[in-house]
Structure 1
Amino acid sequence: MSRDIPPEFLITNFNDRIAAIVESTYPNLLQHYKDEDFLQCRAILASTIEVAGSINDFMLGLIPGDEREYLSADLIDRSEANGNEAFDVIPSEFLNSLTTSGLPNFKIKLKVGTPITLLKDLNPSEGLCIGTRLIVTRLANFVLQAKIISGKNIGNLTLIPRISMSPLQSPWPFKLIRRQFPIVVSYAMTINESQGQSFDYVGIYLPNPGFSHEQLYEAVSRVKSRHGLKILINDKDKQTLETTSNVVYKVFQNI
């Protein structure tokens, strides 16, 4: 059974989908792009890493300032390769292309004022835990300076180094070691990455037909109140959807 999504939540009138969800969630961004309070209470939630990355790249292009790219060093953990010589011929370009939840990207693009989220516990006693959100205040060659904008130590400045990371459960037949800053840009994030967090304003962007109703349910539950929620959903023909399953509809009545 399907039910209409309440019209108050839907974004239906737009020329560019990404621009529409960005303007809805981050209105007047150029006036607030360094405002910690503005950034901390907002997020765009997407179904995949790739979609979230496209939104983050779009938003980085909007804000002023010089952009810097940081590339990782990637290799295969030989201690777990079990002598398999096939791993010796895997090109670095292939390793660089790999992405998975909890692992930083091979290429990270940043500007001063960019919101980021930690992917690893660095110093829990100082509030630097997985999921902590920060805003970049300085870009150096081998370290980032950032200000904490969530948790118990809001306002504190910290330095973030490059570290070596591997996924807890490798989705590949080898263990990838990636030396990179343990962060992800977080104007937009995946629905899975948002677990345990809540925001005053949430934009849900689901441009692919393969999303599940459970994903939509989880995304909707991240917003604190109904006035802060906007949704843009497409079907396989890129047409805006206005219906969803009845089990998901119930959550709209509870926010």
Structure 2
Amino acid sequence: MLSCLSECYLVVLSGLFTRGQDAEEKVSLPAEIIISAEAPLNDLINFVYPSFEASVERDGYFASRAILAPYNDSVDAINETCLGMFPGSLREYRSIDSVADEDAATHFPPELLNQLDAPNFPIHLLRLKVGMPVVLLRNINPPRLCNGTRLIILAMGENVLRCKIAAGQFTGDEILLPRIPLIPSNADLPVSFKRLQFPVKPSFCLTIHKSQGQSLDTVGIDLSVGCFTHGQLYTALSRAKNAANVRVRIPGTRTRNVVFPEVLTEE
């Protein structure tokens, strides 16, 4: 199996250097690492997280494993499923949303602002449990607390979360995280507004982009909707330290390996 996956890595990586003008080409993955997209999502979740109950007792459990997916919608759906499986009492936190322009307030009441969302931005209704992993969405105190830092929830107050850093140089450090005011930078939104919320989201599953630079013991990759940008497939596959601990959920045995030749020729 190791040799099969190593060959697969080479095929995917070689696509980054030998591709012609086509930006997209499908590659075959070893049968040993495939979970059919027709199988329940829980098959992938249970491979990566065989026991959520054990995770509460073990330090480093969430630092060593993650599910990855290319799209934010897929990530959010998987996180919601994992949250439902995770033990403990659920607590909900609703943001306080407001527009900066008073003239726009009549056209954009809080109820409408609550429905707005943007990439890498906290959602209006944040659902959390003690012991679960979350990822930080803003630079708070670099290099200790940066966008992408994974945290474990230790305790939940009304306006403060007590968390532990899950991985990296500051692993084990405890921090207090307040709600903070944030303004989305997405120009596609109909109005500029401010959201007061905890700057985190669940991180049972991460986008492939967010996983860059991480080295994990166990990796599950959901490609039921395939990769869409340059080098994404190789980035996902290469997060695992051990090729035996990778599973990929795809339809069939082939998936897209997207390469943009212009990226390769840039100096």
Q: TM-score range by the shorter chain?
A: 0.7 to 0.9
Q: 2:228 aligns with which of 199, 204, 212?
A: 212
CA-atom RMSD, angstroms? 2.4
2:50 maps to amino acid = P
User: Quick check: 2:228–2:258 contact (8 Å CA) kept in 1?
Assistant: no
Q: TM-score when scaled to structure 1? A: 0.82
User: Quick check: 1:117–1:184 contact (8 Å CA) kept in 2?
Assistant: yes
Q: Distance in 2 between matches of 1:205 and 1:118?
A: 22
Aligned residues: 234
Q: TM-score when scaled to structure 2? A: 0.78
Q: Offset at 1:86?
A: 5.8
Partner SS for 1:146: strand
| Most deviating of 21-30 and 65-74 | 21-30
Q: Offset at 1:63?
A: 2.2
Partner SS for 2:84: helix
Q: Distance in 1 between matches of 2:57 and 2:223?
A: 27
Partner SS for 1:50: helix
Q: Offset at 1:11?
A: 1.1
Q: 1:105 aligns with which of 116, 123, 129?
A: 123
Q: Offset at 1:14?
A: 6.9
- Structure-2 residue corresponding to 1:118: 136
- In 2 relative to 1, CA 72–37 (structure 1 residues): closer, same or farther, beyond 3 Å? same
- Structure-2 residue corresponding to 1:230: 247
Q: 1:66 aligns with which of 82, 89, 95?
A: 89
Q: Distance in 2 between matches of 1:38 and 1:139?
A: 20
- In 2 relative to 1, CA 66–246 (structure 1 residues): closer, same or farther, beyond 3 Å? closer
- Structure-2 residue corresponding to 1:134: 151
Q: Distance in 1 between matches of 2:208 and 2:37?
A: 24
CA displacement, residues 35-61 of structure 1 (integer Å, 9 cap, x when unaligned) = 231110111112222221221121122
- Structure-1 residue corresponding to 2:182: 165
Q: Offset at 1:247?
A: 7.1
Alignment of 1:1-255 (within 5 A): 2-12=26-36, 15-16=39-40, 18-78=41-101, 88-124=106-142, 127-208=144-225, 211-212=227-228, 214=230, 215-233=232-250, 240-245=251-256
User: Quick check: 2:164–2:175 contact (8 Å CA) kept in 1?
Assistant: yes
Higher RCO structure, 1 or 2 (CA under 8 Å, sep 6+): 2
- In 2 relative to 1, CA 242–106 (structure 1 residues): closer, same or farther, beyond 3 Å? same
Q: Offset at 1:213?
A: 6.3
Q: Distance in 2 between matches of 1:12 and 1:169?
A: 35
User: Quick check: 1:213–1:245 contact (8 Å CA) kept in 2?
Assistant: no
Q: Offset at 1:141?
A: 0.9
